Amino acid sequence: MEFDLEDPLVSLEEEQTFTISELFASESEHVPSPNCLTSTHFRVFCCEAISLILQVQVSCKLDPFVAYLAINYLHRFMSSQEIPQGKPWFLRLVVISCLSLASKMKNTTLSFLVIQKEGCYFKAQSIQRMELLILGALKWRMRSITPFSFLHFFISLAEIKDQSLKQALKSRASEIIFNAQNDIKLLEYKPSTVAATALIFASHELFPQQYSILRASITASEYLDGETLSKCFDLMQDMMRMEAKELMIDTSFLSTETPVSMLERNTKRQRI
Amino acid sequence: MLTLREKYYDFDQISSKVFKCRRDDQFFTMKIVSILNEENQANNGVPYWIIREISILKELDHINIVRLIDVMTDGPDLFLVFEYLDNEFQADFLKNPKMFMYPQMKKEFLYQILNTVAYLHARKILLRDLRPENILVNVRTQVLKIALFGAARTFEAPLEAYSSSVGCLSYRSPEVLFQFGCEKYSTPNDVWAVGCIFGEMLLHRPLFSGPSDVELLDEIFTLLGTPTEETWPGVTSICGTCALMGPPQQPKDLAKEFPMLNPDGLDLLSKMLCLCPNYRISAEDAVKHPYFKGV
């Protein structure tokens, strides 16, 4: 048997409605349990683990989707466990195991030898034991339903004719989703809500003239709750603003202007 | 968390790695899968094919698919707990003599197979290895079950080892046979396999049974004609050498090859055995074919 991870749906004809509703019905089982989101230990642990996952992703040149899937496993697993204290090796072992499982699901098996070069020295046997522990905790449901699973469906609602426009929209929305995985607050929202929000943002950026049509068609979907979508939108907007600020700070080093000269320029503008 | 022996009991061996067992009033079939590799080393953790296959099975909930209910681990072994199929379910359904006594039963079972394939394809899941040995039937209740995990192959063997097995070639599509060594499966291959099974139901023998890729292709082209750029756009670029094509052959009259089949059945069969994968009928369309009117 084989399957496509990114897109569980083959077609979106009306006869497939049962599959779409099935997808929406199942997504709650692929998110961490709600109780853990208020736990400081959970947040601290996961932030550190995510940081390590993204670090390995860059150094090992992993598919971003593998990292995304690994983070999903991490959240689901750690929300079902107590965070062990005084075991610094535990975090690294969980990270390696989640990355290993994600790469196997993506069919790009990551050799343990490669990971060990990143300073994660564990015996293969230990990793296997942790893999089995995670698999059991996740009930072997490793084909996670992520926001990517819903993009195709929401885009189809807008009835966009231009294929390259669709593709650009999907790419930008995917990029937004990848970047958003750092913020643990998004875990409060279902993958479908995150997908819808990312698409609305992407359409506003890329195709302002299409924006209102797409937003209307997405928010009209029977599967989404308007109020929740609105909250998720606000959160993502804050994240985007933060991202923009960080970019501004970063690029300021590239400017040859000094703060004083910038101030002068602003003063001149005010005079005019 | 209950251990294996606390949760299940009354083990009764069925075959070397398969047991019948019980919990409360319910029976289950338990299969043991070792996750160590050939050198008994855990050199890269749990094998990816096991994770992927179990992950798929955990998602599936369909009356015609043998259900995976539980997964337990004990040291280097996995214990897969499936729904129990009693003695009324006969494995390798085409060897069941009652299959050939009632024509309506063939149609019913074909419909169930296609319905299952359509269900899987809707979830972007490919079977890749559908054949009669993986199919069990209960002729009394007329319920068919497809065993997706390890029913007919050794549990330790990874999927790739089976892909090259001679025994599997009979149900492989021409586009897959053309690219031996680098199989690129997709949904039309599964539909082709169902078409072969349909033909086998009618003829009481495998439709194609050559022992090698080349011989199989020759049998296929003998029945369905040698493909051309007209009947299969792009075929010359797919088949690496013209040797695979053999001398040009004209298609035979399916009505004469399958005299027992009515026009609707012939139409469905020809569409499932269409040489060009892009033109081949989908499982989703096949279940709506007029041949199944009244099922």
From first to last of its 272 residues, chain A has per-residue pLDDT tens of: 665 544 444 333 333 445 777 788 888 878 887 777 777 888 888 888 998 998 888 888 888 889 999 999 999 999 888 888 778 889 999 999 999 999 988 877 677 666 666 666 788 888 889 999 999 999 999 988 889 888 888 888 887 888 888 889 999 999 899 888 877 788 888 889 999 999 998 988 888 887 888 888 888 888 888 888 888 888 888 887 777 776 665 544 444 434 443 344 444 444 33
Report which of A235, A257, A238, A256 is spatially closest to residue A246, judged by C-alpha positions.
A238
Are the CB atoms for B243 and B78 separated by under 8 Å?
Answer: no
Q: Strand, helix or coil at A139?
A: coil
Q: Which of B7, B55, B131 best tests the A interface by mutation, with the highest count of A CBs <10 A?
A: B55
Question: What domains does chain A contain, in order, with CATH numbers?
Answer: 31-138 (1.10.472.10), 147-245 (1.10.472.10)
Per-residue model confidence (pLDDT) at position A268: 42
| A160 vs A252: CA distance, rounded Å | 39
pLDDT at B251: 92
- Residues of chain B contacting A152 with CB distance shorter than 8 Å: none
CA-to-CA distance for A271 and B19, rounded, in angstroms? Answer: 89
Per-residue model confidence (pLDDT) at position A113: 66
* Token duo for residue B164: 């090259």
- B24, B74, B86, B129: the catalytic one is B129
Average pLDDT, chain B: 83
Residue in A2, A135, A136 closest to B128 by CB? A2
B185–A141 C-beta distance less than 8 A: no
Write out the two tokens for B171.
């149900």
CA atoms of A112 and A124, how far apart (whole Å): 7
- Looking at per-residue confidence, does A103 or B157 come out higher? A103
pLDDT at res. B160: 42
Domain boundaries, chain B: 4-83, 87-292
Active site residue B129: yes
Q: Name the CATH architecture for the domain at B87-292.
A: Orthogonal Bundle (1.10)
Query: Which residues in chain A touch residue B176, judged by CB atoms under 8 angstroms apart?
Result: none
What is the dotted CATH code of the domain comprising B4-83? 3.30.200.20
What count of CB pairs under 8 Å joins A to B?
Answer: 98
